[in-house]
């Protein structure tokens, strides 16, 4: 979900960000990304968003539209809670 902070993103862009953030150690495939996105949508952490650039407008004319995903308010709150938990665990580890 952290890859969706800031602006809506489409599937391949999300996969590339995960791949780069993991320093190329966590390969992400369509078969694992899209079921995960589906689960996040069911939990109302993300929604499909309309975000048509000129490039995407051309894709629509060819019959193919990119699906963009964006965080919901609930998704932002869950992400913030996870970040706070990570910080607290790090503090405990330092003791």
Separation of alpha carbons 64 and 45, rounded Å:
25
Residue 77 sits at the vertex; the CA angle it makes with 73 and 78, to the nearest 5 degrees, is 115
| CATH number for the domain harbouring residue 28 | 1.10.10.10
Domain that holds residue 11: 2-94
Give me the number of domains the chain comprises. Answer: 1
Q: Output the pLDDT for position 37.
A: 94
CB 26 within 8 A of CB 19: yes
Share of the chain above pLDDT 70, in %: 84
**What does the DSSP assignment read for 26-41?**
S---HHHHHHHHHHHH
Q: How does residue 30 score in pLDDT terms, banded at 50, 70 and 90?
A: confident
- State pTM to two decimals: 0.74
């Amino acid at each position: 979900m952290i890859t969706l902070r800031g602006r809506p993103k489409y599937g391949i862009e999300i996969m590339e960000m995960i791949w780069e953030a993991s320093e190329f150690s966590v390969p992400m495939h369509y078969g694992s990304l899209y079921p995960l996105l589906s689960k996040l949508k069911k939990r109302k952490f993300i929604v499909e968003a309309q975000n048509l650039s000129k490039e995407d407008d051309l894709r629509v004319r060819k019959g193919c539209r990119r699906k963009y995903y964006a965080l919901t308010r609930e998704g932002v709150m869950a992400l913030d809670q996870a970040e706070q938990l990570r910080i607290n665990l790090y503090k405990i580890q330092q003791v």
